[in-house]
Structure 1
């Protein structure tokens, strides 16, 4: 004998499936957004590291290119 579902049970099952599908979609989108934010932060952090390294290299180059005062006076 075949069981018949009530309209209330059918509605409950449909609502449950809809909410479950919505929750899964939100979880997927959240994961995508979190990974995107992580990738952007890592890219910006990598860029900032490069800027610090370039600034330090420029500072060292300036220091190395300066002629000490005693060398200038000895050559005159």
Structure 2
């Protein structure tokens, strides 16, 4: 800032404080943005893992049901025939 005679004036206290607040706000916004990206990625990854775990459970349950249907209806043990209920 200069006067009408060309003398240089120092930046006033208000403008210095404004610049400090502005710089801090910009920095905080950048960091918060990065943190949000990290959290969003973590939520996405956790959701994917939970989905995969549930899918594994469903597949295991279906495989167990299929194995039960494929099992023989009866077996001979020590010369005796035993049946299972369906």
TM-score (norm 1): 0.80
Unmatched 5+ residue regions in structure 2?
1-5, 75-80, 82-86
Aligned residues: 69
Moved over 2 A (4+): 1-4
Task: Tell which has more relative contact order, 1 or 2 (C-alpha 8 A, sep 6+).
Answer: 2
**RMSD, aligned CA:** 1.9
Higher strand share: 2
TM-score (norm 2): 0.71
Unmatched 5+ residue regions in structure 1?
none
- Structure number with bigger Rg: 2
